Amino acid sequence: MSITFHSDGSIAHLTNGTISYVIELLDHTYLLHRYFSQAIRAWHGTGVTLPSKRSYTTEYADGTQNLYFDALPFEYPTPGRGDYRLPALTAEGPSGAAVVDLKFCSWQVLPQKPTVPGLPMTFSAPDESETLEIVCSDPVAGIKVHLYYTIFRDLNIITRHQRMENTGNTAIRLRNVQSLSLELPARDYELLTLYGCHAKEANQSRALLHQGVQRIGSCYGSSSPRHQPFFALLQPGTAEQTGEVYGFQLIYSGNFSAAVEKDTFGQVRAQIGLNPDTFTWTLEPGKAFDTPEAVLNYSTNGLNGMRQGFHKLIRNHIMPPRWRDAQRPVLLNSWEAMYYDVNLDKIETQAQLAKELGIELFVLDDGWFRAGNDSRSSMGDWTCNQNKLPGGIDRVASIVHAKGLTFGLWFEPEAVSPNSQLYRTHPDWIVHVPSYAPVKGRHEYLLDLGRAEVRQYLLDMLHGYLAGGQIDYIKWDMNRPLTDVVSSALPPERQGEAAHRYILGLYAVLDEITRCYPDVLFEGCSSGGARFDAGMLHYFPQNWTSDNTDACDRVTIQSGFDLLYPQSAMGAHVSITPNHQTGRSTTLDTRYQVCRLYNLGYELDLTLCTPEERDEIARQIAAYKAQRSWLMTGTLFHSQSSDQNCTAWSVVSPDQTQCMMIVFQKLYNPLASCARFALCSLDPASDYRDTATGKVYGGDELMQIGLTVPLVKHDFTTFCFHLVKI
């Protein structure tokens, strides 16, 4: 791994022996992007587009013939000086004009990666990464920009973030700050994004990139279920195992923008960062602003290569280290068994049955603090309803712990009910626009986390529950988007900062509470997957994937999310049939098989299960426990097939001694041939035994030819192949 500079100081080359990233200085003034792909020994000017005559444009400053700003591959482009494509930084300086002309000052290799104050970021030991700092400035605008590039020793990944400093005497108004901008060669690309809605998150969209700007984003106040803060540019025809992929991801949980522009001449510029539609920031003299960190992931091994790059980064460099390889407990969540109508008898009965079946964690969901059995009251007060639960949460925890289970509790700390003591006492604590009636979502408002007193109130409340050590797990929910985004803590001219300050406030609360209670397992949730992002995983080692627990839909949802997130980060629960969200009926085995490669849980009323079903659940849990240590730390693959009716995914243990492949058949099709799926990452020189049939196959045979799915005349059927190295 190395970051080197050309002898004349005009080229910086970042490489780890697998990938290379090259930056060139034009006239020792402007930073140009020259290369990002497979590793090269050095760059000698290859691949540069030759200057050619264009009309209706502006001349380059030194008068070089046929050289124009809107043809240059800028490393961090700015507007107003002749580049008319997407800018990465837009700021209003002393003149009021949105013109920034950044010029190179210096570059150096840092002894350690700088922190991003108040924001989640990747971390690494000194020997695991190197960081390049480039400083550019515009003295006229009074702005200095530090660009940080971190390359990891064992990953095809570079992370990027920027720090803006006001070096002038007057305030600067930041209007657009992107965390990453990348220029790519003029050729055909496919654009891959993940879109969705509540209960149908992370659907894959894939289309040929065309001229113009293609953009996704969120203005919901969270990363949202509508689009993941991610996109990828693919070589056309890229499959699971083959093809070139550039993946982009933002380590941030609020409003974002991701855009790709293909200009008239075919040049491609890709960016990801804060959403300029919902962001402005007043940067006072002497102050600095840091962008969220962004991830640039390169793969020549198709979508699986990108998938595994993101998984390794998140598991090894983003998740809390305490939980990186820790086994997650099999849990029972009370929601679909009780909804809001909770009581001690129900809890004790469910906990007893859970213990008998091998479940390890009982989670009490919503309802424990409500005045009634609905969502219309009490949010924000967080006082246990003693009429429902005499003795309070301590009593519930003691009942659960007495059964030999750990205990978890549901919170939605960011919300407040209009019918609550907190709101009656502090109506100004919510996010709201003066003179407008505040908008409700799920019968609740949102607290303004940009206010210090609000954050302190939440911390005091959470410490009050967690300090006694009775709670082993927290499910942190957030069930509505932001509206009326005005903070009473800010003057009118700075309200463009409110949405970002809300997220900074959230991170501040999460940082303190997770540092104080490192052994508490925190799971993020936002009506399911509405805030499932790498920023939240910096504090919470797992996230509730979707409120939709239907096995058929979960195959699509999990297949989208696991493009980015490792299996240990994703909660997957077996629920009742017909499913509460879709009404679809599937077998208990199918529901389990769809969950078993992720964090397994159950979300149903165990008293309604037949003795035979409870016996089957006990067998499922025993099998899962026997394999979860390697299933959660192994490498996740998807297998390619022309049969769109079947989906196959597998996990291979770190030592390649075990592999488990699950195949989901959506509908029985009498006209289709049997689907065949090749496995990945086995030892080609070794043999593997199928534990169900006893048949032996060569590792090379399994990877080159694959296994054939049996012909079964049932819809929504799963097949499991567990292979063990001989």
Residue type, 396: V
Annotated catalytic residue: which of 70, 365, 472, 547? 547
Both tokens of residue 327? 């086994």
Determine whether 388 is exposed, middle or buried from the number of CB atoms within 10 Å of its CB (0-12, 13-18, 19+). Answer: buried
**How far is residue 698's CA from residue 541's CA, in Å, rounded to a whole number?**
36
Counts of helices then strands in the chain (DSSP H, E):
12, 38
Say how far apart CA 342 and CA 725 lie, in whole Å.
48
How many Å apart are CA 598 and CA 567, to the nearest integer? 5
Residue 450 φ then ψ, to 5°: -75, -10
**Which residues pair with residue 398 across a beta bridge?**
none
Q: Is 547 a catalytic residue?
A: yes
How many whole angstroms separate alpha carbon 137 and alpha carbon 103? Answer: 5
477, 533, 553, 562: which is the annotated catalytic residue?
477
- 578 cis-preceded (ω within 30 degrees of 0): yes
Q: What are phi and psi of 465, to 5 degrees?
A: -85, -35
The Cα 294–Cα 181 span in angstroms is 10
* DSSP letter assigned to residue 125: -
Q: Look up residue 135 and give its DSSP letter.
A: E
Query: Is 683 assigned a catalytic role?
Result: no
E-assigned strands of 545-653? 570-575, 599-603, 635-638, 646-652
Element (H, E) at 369: none
In a 3-state reduction of DSSP, which class is residue 292?
coil
Inter-axis angle of helices 392-402 and 344-357, nearest 10: 30
Cα separation values, 149 from 109, 143, 214, 513, 546, Å = 10, 20, 25, 30, 34
How many of the other CB atoms lie within 10 Å of CB of 188? 14
Interior CA angle at 86 toward 494 and 104, to 5°? 85
Instruction: Report the distance separating Cα 508 and Cα 455, nearest Å.
Output: 8
- Which of 602, 595, 597, 598 is CA-nearest to residue 617? 602
Which whole-number Å values give the CA distances from 645 to 11, 143, 666, 673, 717, in the listed order? Answer: 50, 55, 6, 11, 11
Active-site annotation, residues: 477, 547
